Amino acid sequence: MTSQQSSHPTYVQSLGAIGRYLDQHGYHSLVLCELGDGFVVRAIRGENLPEAIPFPMTDMFNLIRLANERTSRTKPLAPTPQDPLASFVRRVVGGYYEFLSALGQQCDQTDAASLMVMELADSVLLSYQKTLTTYDAWDSSTYEYLYNEQGARKLIMGSAPSLRR
């Protein structure tokens, strides 16, 4: 999926809607993979076992619409005391919506594809592919980017270094 494909939403739209869903339902410990027809998320709610949550592309526009409606109707939550045992994204940024929306914006800007996002104890790993086309070659390369606490905060503020082009 690239930002130029009109039949698919952008990464900022898709990842933001997924982030809103995860925040609203109290999920943590994110692993997100892009598939050919959407996304699948592995996350944990409360003390339960991990769940696999499919986000098929056929449902993505509706999920985006619902997320936008809820965003416009709700006021930002007051800051809560940080739980040192909370997931990395919640502890550092506050929620998945903010982080995944900002990450989606960077992915759209670099024409990333085939995303994999894995939340670790003290960072978030992003892996993506980018198709490189030159006169002599058509090749796909895989890139990885690790967001530590400082990197995640800079990403949210819009000053994180761009992903490799």
46-94: pLDDT as tens digits: 889 999 999 999 999 999 988 888 665 554 443 344 555 679 999 999 9
Cα(122)–Cα(31) distance, rounded to whole angstroms? 14
Lowest mean pLDDT of 22-31, 118-127, 135-144, name the range. 135-144
Q: Is residue 2 part of a domain?
A: no
Q: Is residue 164 part of a domain?
A: no
Cα(59)–Cα(3) distance, rounded to whole angstroms? 18
Q: Is residue 64 part of a domain?
A: yes
Q: Is residue 131 part of a domain?
A: yes
Domain carrying residue 24: 11-157
Count of domains observed in the chain: 1
Q: Is residue 4 part of a domain?
A: no
Q: Where are the beta strands (DSSP E) in the chain?
A: 27-35, 38-45, 51-56, 113-119, 124-133, 138-147
Residue tagged 């449902």 (tokens)? 59
- Token representation of residue 81: 């005391």
Q: Is residue 165 part of a domain?
A: no
Model-level pTM greater than 0.85? no
